[in-house]
Structure 1
């Protein structure tokens, strides 16, 4: 099931529960350079428990995406625009309860979902941010310190355009998220070497209504029992937050 932004295709997969809707729904975003398959385990569990789920590839979001676009055109703000298009599309569907649409995301996807919740708070019932990459603005400041923004740069094997750093430096995510009053679940590993858990600890204090679950010994990217726990935590949070 695809959407479109500025003439570019957004590829996604809709998971609907059995029975008749309208269903509450979760829109889930992948991380930097990733793709929607990383979110399938979450989507499958949501759908098995009466909650619709939509997972998708950001435009220009990585090397293995099925959406249009190049990574040189991608930034956290273009990804937020993609997610907003998906939010519009799902809210207009008869099978979806538009009053109960949740946003979720892993890593950079958690950053993007947080940004969208903060900028469109009335449309987002709740937020799940899984090892969210709130570090990326500090990372951009360190990379660009004392030099001009480059036209291109390579990060983690992905060739990015000037817009990536430019947009990251254009606002403060903590100033945005303080405006989201809805329920928030943050899940972060204590051994995350890519995004220190301190960033989520700060976010838990900034969000008006947030809970942080720290997964002892987990790094950046969950697998095995850590992923199973994150999925169950996410499901329980969404179920209790439905209005």
Structure 2
């Protein structure tokens, strides 16, 4: 639940490496600064997967992109959405970069506590507030029965997860469980392969500080290098 300006520096960084970088705002995904239309009360992880699939379809059909060499990257909820799409996409995603992916969202919905919002999970209100954002019941209901790790584990490409050890919104344990989920689908004897990379940034929170971003971008550069 942010907007593209918060991640544009990653796109610019990848563009300097030779990638065609594309950022966008999810429909209804921002309270104030987003450029896409759509109501925040109609937004959920599932609506955002549809948005992302539409964007990928657009980008991969541009004359100057390589549809077989897609690197998909997402942060927080965008990371969760990216992981879902990568696992169930009709076209290949070569690499998947996840910064502090919010794989906690289904568990949070079942607990009735989604960041600053609290509600009865057995009786989710039509709308509820999470800070400045007014969300609809679909935000919780669409993931209430979802097993995040079962949904993402079948992605077969390369994945790099970067998570701060002091993240107070998405506990670092979710990154560890995600890495194990990805490894669980690998053939026996390949669990230590570089296909699944998990990196921790000591002291890093949710959304990296400038100091921690330097570390994260170094890891991103190594992961995204085209010779790999």
Structure 2 distance, partners of 1:95, 1:228, is 29
- The yes-or-no answer on 1:82 pairing with 2:51 is yes
Q: Secondary structure at the match of 2:67?
A: strand
Matches within 5 A, 1:128-143: 128-143=97-112
Q: 136-145 or 40-49, which moves further after superposition? A: 136-145
Q: CA offset at residue 121 of structure 1?
A: 6.7
1:153 to 118, 128, 134: 128
State the partner residue of 1:40.
8
- In the other structure, the counterpart of 2:84 is 115
Partners of 1:198 and 1:183 in 2: CA distance: 20
Higher strand share: 1
Mark the runs of 5 or more structure 2 residues left unpaired by the alignment: 113-118, 184-194
How many angstroms apart in 2 are the aligned matches of 1:159 and 1:42? 28
What residue number does 1:23 align with? Answer: none
Count, aligned residues:
210
Find runs of 4+ consecutive structure 1 residues off by over 3 angstroms: none
Cα deviations by residue, 1:5-32 (Å, 9 ceiling, x for unpaired): xxxxxxxxxxxxxxxxxxxxxxxxxxx2
User: Which residue in 1 is equivalent to 2:188?
Assistant: none
Q: For residues 183-223 of structure 1, what are the alpha-carbon distances to aligned partners after superposition, in whole Å with 9 as ceiling and x for unaligned? A: 10000000111111000001011113421100001111102
Does residue 204 (structure 1) correspond to residue 174 (structure 2)? The answer is no
Report the Cα offset of residue 168 of structure 1. 1.6
* 1:216 corresponds to: 202
Shift of 1:153: 1.1
Aligned equivalents of 2:227, 2:123: Cα separation in 1: 45
Output the CA distance in 2 between the equivalents of 1:188 and 1:97: 29
Look up the match of 1:92.
Answer: 61
Does the Cα contact within 8 Å between 1:75 and 1:165 map onto a contact in 2? Answer: yes
Deviation at 1:146, TM superposition (A): 5.5
Q: 2:38 aligns with which of 69, 74, 85?
A: 69
Task: Go from structure 1 to structure 2 and tell me whether the alpha carbon gap of 1:203 and 1:121 turns closer, same or farther (over 3 Å shift).
Answer: farther
The alignment partner of 2:68 has SS state of: strand
1:194 aligns with 2:169: yes
Deviation per CA, 1:74-133: give whole Å up to 9, x if none. 000101100000000011111100000111111001000001011117421110010111
Match of 1:173 among 148, 168, 182: 148
Give the one of 125, 130, 133 matched to 2:94: 125
How far apart are residue 239 of structure 1 and its match? 1.5
Q: What is the RMSD computed on CA atoms of the aligned residues? A: 1.5
Structure 2 distance, partners of 1:146, 1:217, is 32
1:105 alignment partner, SS class: strand
Aligned partners of 2:71 and 2:94 also within 8 Å: yes
1:121 and 1:179 in contact (8 A); partners too: no
Gap regions ≥5 residues in structure 1: 1-31
